[in-house]
Structures are given as C-alpha cells and as structure tokens.
C-alpha cells in the first residue's frame, strides 16, 4: 500500500512546483520576452488610454501630446481615447475636454464624439451619421485616488487596493476585444496601479488579455525627474513595454530607459 502523504506536505510540494511555473509565466508577459505588437493598419479601430494626474502630470501629458501632434501624430489613427482622471480632479477632466475640442478644431469641420462615461457605464459608440467627419471619440473615466499628496506610506496600500479594484472595472468592463490597445502614463500613483491591474489581467489571460497587441504600456518619466526616477518610475521600469526619460542622465536606467530629448 502506498505511503499516505499528509495534506500540509502535499501543499508544500505543490507550492514549490508552482513557483517556477508562475515565475516563467510572469517573465513571459514582461519585456524583453513579451512578443512585439502585431502589425495593424491605420484606420482600424484602436483604443488609447491616457492617464492624467494632479499637479504637473496633466500639464506635462498635454504638452507632450501637443508636441507629438505637431510632429505628425494623427489623432484619426487613435480612434478612441479614454482619459483616466482621479476622483476629485475636475481640473484634469476639464483640460482633457479642452484638449479634445482642440483636436476637433484642428481638423476643420470635424466634431469629436463625447462619451462622458463613468466607470460603471458602458456604451458602444454610435456609428457616425453619413457625411459626418469625426476625429474618433473619447470618454473620461474616473478612478479613486491611489495616494493623496502627503498621505502616509503606511496607509497607502489600503487606498491602493481600492483603486486597483476600480482599475479592473475600467480595463475589463468592455468586451475583451476592447481592452485598451495602448496605455500611456507619466507618473501618478494611479497610473502604477492601473498598469499593475493590466499585468494581472494579462498574467491570467482573462478574456484574452494576453494577446500581443493588447494593453501595451508606454511610460514617460516626468520632466521634473533629472537624476532619479520617481517612485512610479522605479516600480514600472522593468514592467512597461517602453520607458522614456527626458534627461540624458537617466538614459539607460533600468537597462532600458530611452532618451529622446525633452518631450514637453
């Protein structure tokens, strides 16, 4: 008769076996092992998620996007923009709306479709009426703050978990084919939680989250960071698909910081 394996010992064996498997899985979804994005034709529907934050984060983000547009970025290629703002940050929400209005005005005669969705709503975008020239659509999603300014780092994990829950809801409240294609962030703690949420979804491949072109992440370290990364930057440097810095002293940070000059 076979020796009887006690339950605690069996559990230990399982955990020991799982660790390498989980590690391999994690490594597979992170750079440099994550496969490059699948090729995509311009004009197909895309969803860009832009994270705004208090203080200079929003100012820098909008300055960067305006410069990108000036250097040839076509908003028509980024058909749907989701602007993520922290709860209470009405200034950032207003700036996002203002930016979208500018985008529409720059393509003369176009209008931007405004879907002001809260995190609990989901609407499929209407089809444009015949003859209507639209520069895509946008919505503004609101997230509870991961950390308030001056908040003690001891209580931050609690508020961060609450924020994480809502990140899942924002990212996966739409059918899998509409996970954001690209997440763009430049530093607020909210962005870190959101990117972490996207990693968890991809790790477990929830509703096909682990595809090559889904939820790719671009992180731009703040222009205010000259010699040292921010806390968000340190947490994300090995985890995002592209990591950009704006001062030469940070080029190559984490083995992968890319320096293309000042972007703001």
Partner 1 sequence: MASTKTCFVTVGATASFHDLVKGVLSPSFLKALQSHSYTDLIVQYGVDGKQTFDLAVKAAGSSGIQISGFELEKAGLGKYMRLAKGSGKEAQEGVVISHAGSGSILDALRQQIPIIVVPNATLLDNHQVELAEALAEQEYVVHGRLENLAKALEDAERLRERQKEWPPANSGVHRQAKAVGLRGILDEEMGFLD
Position among 49, 51, 52, 65 found at the interface with partner 1 (CB under 8 A): 65
* Cβ(115)–Cβ(137) below 8 Å: yes
Pairing of strands 111-115, 134-143: parallel
> What does the alpha-carbon distance between residue 190 and residue 194 come to, in Å, rounded to a whole number?
6
Position among 77, 107, 114, 172 found at the interface with partner 1 (CB under 8 A): 77
- What is the phi/psi pair of residue 235, to 5°? -70, -30
Interface map 164-203 toward partner 1 (x if CB under 8 A): -----------------xx-x-------------------
Q: Give SS3 for 185.
A: strand
Position among 14, 33, 42, 255 found at the interface with partner 1 (CB under 8 A): 42
Smallest separation, CB 36 to partner 1 (Å): 8
Beta bridge partners of 47: 80
Among 216, 250, 212, 213, which Cα is nearest to 233's?
250
Contact range with partner 1 by CB under 8 A, out of 12-20, 25-33, 41-49, 112-120: 41-49
- What is the phi/psi pair of residue 89, to 5°? -95, 70
Does 30 contact partner 1 by CB under 8 A? no
Binding residues (CB under 8 A) for partner 1: these are: 36-42, 46, 48, 54-56, 58-60, 63-65, 67-73, 77-78, 91, 94, 149-150, 181-182, 184, 213, 216, 218, 220, 222-228, 230-231, 241-242, 244, 247-248, 258-264
């Amino acid at each position: 008769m076979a020796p009887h394996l006690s339950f605690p010992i069996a559990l230990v064996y399982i955990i020991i076996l799982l660790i390498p498997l989980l590690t391999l899985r994690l490594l597979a979804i992170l750079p440099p092992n994550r496969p490059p994005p699948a090729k995509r034709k311009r004009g197909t529907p895309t969803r860009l998620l832009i994270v705004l934050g208090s203080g200079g984060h929003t100012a820098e983000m909008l300055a960067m996007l305006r410069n990108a547009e000036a250097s040839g970025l076509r908003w028509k290629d980024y058909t749907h923009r989701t602007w993520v703002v922290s709860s209470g940050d009405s200034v950032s929400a207003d700036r996002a709306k203002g930016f979208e209005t500018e985008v529409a005005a720059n393509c003369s005669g176009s209008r931007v479709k405004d879907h002001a969705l809260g995190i609990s709503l989901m609407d499929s975008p209407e089809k444009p009426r015949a003859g209507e020239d639209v520069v895509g659509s946008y919505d503004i999603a609101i997230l509870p703050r991961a950390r308030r300014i001056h908040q003690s780092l001891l209580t931050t994990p609690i508020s961060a978990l609450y924020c994480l829950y809502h990140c899942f809801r924002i990212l996966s409240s739409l059918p899998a084919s509409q996970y954001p294609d690209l997440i763009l962030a430049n530093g607020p703690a909210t962005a870190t939680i959101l990117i972490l949420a996207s990693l968890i979804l991809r790790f477990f491949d929830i509703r096909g989250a682990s595809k090559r072109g889904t939820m790719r992440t671009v992180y731009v370290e703040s222009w205010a960071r000259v010699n040292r990364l921010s806390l968000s930057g340190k947490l994300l440097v090995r985890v995002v698909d592209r990591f950009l810095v704006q001062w030469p002293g940070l080029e190559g940070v984490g083995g992968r910081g890319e320096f293309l000059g000042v972007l703001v």
